[in-house]
Amino acid sequence: MNVPYGPILVVEDIPNVLELLEVTLRFKGYPVVTARNGQEALELVNKEHPALVVTDILMPKLDGYALAQKLRTDPHTRHIPIVFLSATYVTPEDKAFALSLGAVRFLEKPVDTEEFLLTIAEILTLGPSGALLEPMNEGEFYQGYRERLETKLRHKNTQIIRTERLLQTLPSEQKKSFESLLAESRRQRDEIQNELNDLYRQLTELQTDNHKPS
């Protein structure tokens, strides 16, 4: 399928999910480039000039929310449509924040491939968007971003505690699947905590800069 104004950029840190999305799109004839986190994605955007960005939210180094904000505040990239995919950030508040950043669609994982392809085709048919929302200002972004991360961290910690308690009551033959679930929840918890720590550092630096004499 011809996409005359650039490839589709898929940003996803889980290898098997990234492969599934890439294979699904290539099977339909779309040109695809991939990145494993938001930092890699920014570098590719400047090189490949994608027609569309499909991104996970929970990722190391630079997550989907921060990637979207950077794309939307740059005049050279703010026209690129963004589709969010997530299995973690799926509350109404998470979705509202994603759309307020300027995303054109939000899809939950696991991805329904038919819905995914229909969404991609619809967005590419419309072409680069010329009527996007104004980018969120820095203060609004950091406030909303912090709220989403702090809320998600609390939920993850609660989920981990419940799973740990449940494991103590299960027979040994049932423990393996729950141990895998617990390990994945801990990995996600650590990623969210790292993102939150980075955000706190950025806010501290921002406040320091704002209080410097001009």
143-to-138, 196, 203, 210 alpha-carbon distances in Å: 9, 12, 10, 16
- Asked if 181 and 156 count as a contact pair (C-beta separation under 8 A), the reply is no
What residues does 113 pair with on adjacent strands? none
Tell me the per-residue pLDDT of 21-41, one tens digit each, with 9 for 90 and over: 999 999 999 999 999 999 999
Provide DSSP, 3-72.
-TT--EEEE-SSHHHHHHHHHHHHHTT--EEEESSHHHHHHHHHHH--SEEEEESS-SSS-HHHHHHHHH
Give pTM, 2 decimals.
Answer: 0.86
Tell me the per-residue pLDDT of 97-135, one tens digit each, with 9 for 90 and over: 999 998 999 999 999 999 999 999 999 988 665 446 678
Percent of the chain residues topping a pLDDT of 90 = 71
Report the C-alpha gap between 127 and 197 in whole angstroms. 37
